[in-house]
Amino acid sequence: MFKPLSFAILLGLAALPAAASGSDALTLQSAQVGIGGMCKAGFWTPIWLTVQAGPEGASGRLEIVIDDGDQTPVIYPASRPLDLAAGGEERVLLYARIGPIAAPITARLSDRGRVVWSQRLADLPPPLPPSRHLIVSIGPNVGLSEAIATLKGPAESAYVATSVPDGLDLPDQWWGYDGVDAVVLATSEPTPLSDPRDPRRGALGNWTRLGGKLIVSAGARGAEFFAAAGERPLAPPFTVSETTPLRDRAGLEAFGGAELPWEDDDFQRRRPAVLRITNADGVALVDEGGLASGRPLVLRSAFGLGELTLVAVDLDHPGFAKWSGRPRMIARLLQGDRAASEAAEGTTRRGVVHLGYNDLVGQLRSALDQFPGVTLVSFTTVATLTVLFLLLIGPGDYLLLSRLNLPRQTTWLTFSALAAAFGGLAWWLAGDAHGSRPRANQAEVIDVDAVSRVMRGTLWTHVYSPTATRLDLELQVEPPRSGGPLEPGGWLAWQGLPGDALGGLGSRQFSLARPDPYAILPPGATPRIASLPLVTASSKSLAARWWGSGPAVESKLAKDQYGLLSGEVTNPLDVELTDWLVAHEDRMYRLDAKLAGPLAPGQTVRIGDLSPLNLEARLTNRYVVDSKDVATQWNQASTDIPQIVRMMLFYESARGPAYTGLAHRYQSELDLTGHLRLGRAVLIGRAARPVARITAGGQPLAEAADAREYTWWRFVLPVGPQPAMPSQP
């Protein structure tokens, strides 16, 4: 899937010396980190640098240097070299994974193995914690700030808005939106996103298809905007046509909770234009109502692995600017079905400080850090051996020499013998506890949307080394047969830990020793890490994301007259799926426990042969005691990887904040509950063979006997309308 690439450049970057101060090779004119000057710790972020060459010109490669979650410097090189004549100026866009909140950011220029210019980026706002909601507004003002002010919830997960009115400073690659929770796009005025050939439009579309949430306000110019889509990546799952004036206010007033200035002469003279929506695939959240009932004003649709919400009016229209219901309307669109969950998040972070994490991804990280054959030597063991050693070389040695009537000078021999014995014991315990071979644990989730054939892979790997070493790592992917809209690619980087505990992204810990840096190649066709350092008996938490076009999936699903799922679904893979089930709305369907077996390659199953069960009850292991439903308590210290991943994949379906007591903000795009509520079905199962692996020198990080690997496949399937009932004779 990925092209081979030499490590020569990256190895040179990782070994570069510290920058010399006072160099006049470049002058930094301006720097912008994040979209609209905002970003979140632990995510890929666009960084714009405007530099001017000195009197002798400047050539080389611009780099960004930021610490990772373990306080190790990481070099992120630009995708192309810089070559400026004397006095020349250029604005360069780089991508870097923002480290801890307190980590400094340094820009530098390297040329032929040496740093010729370096400058720390100062006067920048600190990155937001990964638990915050970052909302980006593009185009005219639609009142996003006022809407966010109405949202209530805990401070650690509060909403923050940033704006790019002209649409210019936007990423040209989808991973530039990595830390963004939702984008609100207004189309009433032209922006670069109106041009179908602009890479910024493609980046926004790909981000949405790969799990993002896009809200588009499209009224008067909506048909023109979507007509320009033509092809992917922003082709909508519905048809839009001409606009007509707003005919009724009932739907908007009910959704916004306030009356429109309907009787105002100016409002009547310039009624907002309504974009006509047909062939809609989604859920109509707002209908025009009244005399115009049946015309949707707000439509939410599954868009690949993400969500697209179309508001068929221009929310920046002057008539809506005076409407007190606009902030409430936008707030409801941002929260969606998470309103109850947001309120429950106030109880999530209590009682887990001692565990070192407050997010489900932290619990997964802790579970993956348990390696077979590697024993953690506790402080109690070390303290006990130390006290025993002191007792033996002190009172013990004195009593032994006194009992045997030996001269006091003999203590030099007994002390040396005891020191050698305890040194050998410590060496043996260290070898027995740490092992002698590298080990790796891996969990992987592959998502495929059957409609768009968008495929997304998410990988977590923990690698352990008993000795100090440096590794050159590569992400190798062997996807199934494919062919579709997405150009294959991926990224490989360090995995962050949300929270302010030791090693967390919010921690302000100080590193006493500064290790040599390593380099991460920019996301794309060749995801690699060069010269990653591992100290003796330590582990490193890595994460990867890859994407491409998935296999064709055959499914014929519909809802019967009782609201239950019916039809057939086929396993499209060449591997069998175990522990499989089909989820739809608030139900799950699987074979009875006595008949349960793997889903063979190409096997087709009838949903009518499966038992319909309550999804939330099965996720929470609910059982009946004295005629009452009782859910099994979630163990926040559990290292059961399948159980943790299952909760991450259907977090909202299980009412995760209240049930687990943990948040799910760092990688919330993995939760497909939103698709279930939009009428999609999800087939999920485990496969014995992984699709992606992180390799060193072309070889797996650890032998098969020393690795634990977990792989889940999920297929998002369309569900057709309920078939017509046969006519009665």
Identify the residue with better confidence: 343 or 652: 652
Q: What is the pLDDT of residues 161-196, one digit of tens each?
A: 999 999 999 999 999 999 999 999 999 999 999 888
Degrees to nearest 5, angle at CA 404 with 401 and 405:
80
Is residue 89 classed exposed, middle or buried when 0-12, 13-18 and 19+ CB atoms within 10 A define those classes?
A: exposed
SS3 state of residue 402: helix
- Cβ neighbours of 547 (radius 10 Å): 27
- 328-379: per-residue pLDDT in tens? 999 999 987 655 454 445 444 444 555 778 999 999 999 998 887 776 666 6
Q: Can you tell me the mean pLDDT for 673-683?
A: 94
How sure is the predictor about 697, in pLDDT bands with cuts at 50, 70 and 90? confident
User: Phi and psi of 342, rounded to 5°?
Assistant: -60, -40
Six-digit token pair at 248? 């009724």
Residue type, 238: F
Q: Which two tokens stand for residue 569?
A: 């679904």
For 93, counting Cβ atoms within 10 Å of its Cβ (0-12 exposed, 13-18 middle, 19+ buried), the class is middle
Contact 314, 188 (CB under 8 A): yes
| Burial 285-303, CB ≥16 within 10 A → b, else e | bbbbbeebeebbbbbbbbb
Q: Are 103 and 96 in contact (CB under 8 A)?
A: no
Give one DSSP letter per residue of 606-645, joined into a string: EGGGSEEEEHHHHHTTEEEETTEEEEPPP-TT---HHHHH
Convert the pLDDT of each residue in 533-546 to its tens digit.
Answer: 998 888 899 999 99
For the stretch 72-130, pLDDT in tens is 999 999 999 999 999 999 999 999 999 999 899 999 999 988 999 999 998 899 999 99
Give pLDDT, residue 133: 95
pLDDT band for position 10 (cuts 50, 70, 90)? very low
Window from 63-72, 149-158, 225-234 with minimum mean pLDDT: 225-234
Q: With beta carbons less than 8 A apart as the criterion, state whether 151 and 53 touch.
A: no
pLDDT value at position 378?
67
Scored b (16 or more CB within 10 A) or e, 482-516 reads: bebbbebbbbbbbbbbbbbbebbbbbeeeeeeeee
Q: Are 439 and 706 in contact (CB under 8 A)?
A: yes
d(CA 674, CA 421): 62
pLDDT the model gives residue 565: 92
* d(C-alpha 284, C-alpha 292), whole Å: 14
Asked if 590 and 610 count as a contact pair (C-beta separation under 8 A), the reply is: yes
Length reported for the chain: 729
How far apart, in whole angstroms, are the C-alpha atoms of residue 327 and residue 500? 33
Do residues 507 and 570 make contact, with C-beta atoms less than 8 angstroms apart? no
pLDDT at 695 over 80: yes
* Burial class for 215, CB neighbours closer than 10 Å (0-12, 13-18, 19+): buried
Residue 524 Cα to chain centre, angstroms: 17
Question: What is the pLDDT at residue 311?
Answer: 95
| Pairwise CA distance, residues 544 & 473, whole Å | 12
Q: In Å, how far from its chain's centre is CA 165?
A: 26
According to the model, what pLDDT value does residue 723 have?
Answer: 53
Q: State pLDDT tens for residues 213-264.
A: 999 999 888 888 888 655 567 788 888 888 889 988 899 999 999 999 888 8
Residue 1 reports pLDDT greater than 60: no
Checking 651-656 for CB contacts under 8 A at 24+ apart, the result is: 651/360, 652/337, 652/338, 652/341, 653/583, 653/586, 653/615, 653/616, 653/619, 654/615, 654/616, 654/619, 654/620, 655/340, 655/341, 655/344, 655/616, 655/620, 656/341, 656/360
CA distance 319 to 268: 9
d(CA 339, CA 152): 9
Contact call for residues 182 and 334 (beta carbons, < 8 A): yes
481 — pLDDT class (breaks 50, 70, 90): low
pLDDT at 474 over 90: yes
Confidence of residue 421 (pLDDT cuts 50, 70, 90): confident
DSSP-derived 3-state class of residue 695:
strand
Phi–psi pair at 718, nearest 5 degrees? -75, 150
* Mean pLDDT (whole number) for 516-534: 92
- pTM over the 0.95 mark: no
Q: Strand pairing of 239-245 and 213-217?
A: unpaired
Give the 3-state secondary structure of residue 275. Answer: strand
The pLDDT tens digits of the residues spanning 595-639 come to 568 999 999 999 988 889 999 998 998 765 555 666 788 999 999
- CA separation (Å) from 367 to 42, 56, 142, 350? 20, 54, 44, 20
Alpha-carbon gap, residue 468 to 536, rounded angstroms: 4
Average pLDDT, the chain: 85
Q: How confident is the model at residue 432 (pLDDT cuts 50, 70, 90)?
A: low
What distance in Å separates the CA atoms of residue 125 and residue 38, rounded to the nearest whole number?
8
> Among 585, 564, 570, which residue's Cα sits nearest to residue 675?
585
Distances (CA, A) of 332 to 386, 651, 665: 61, 20, 19
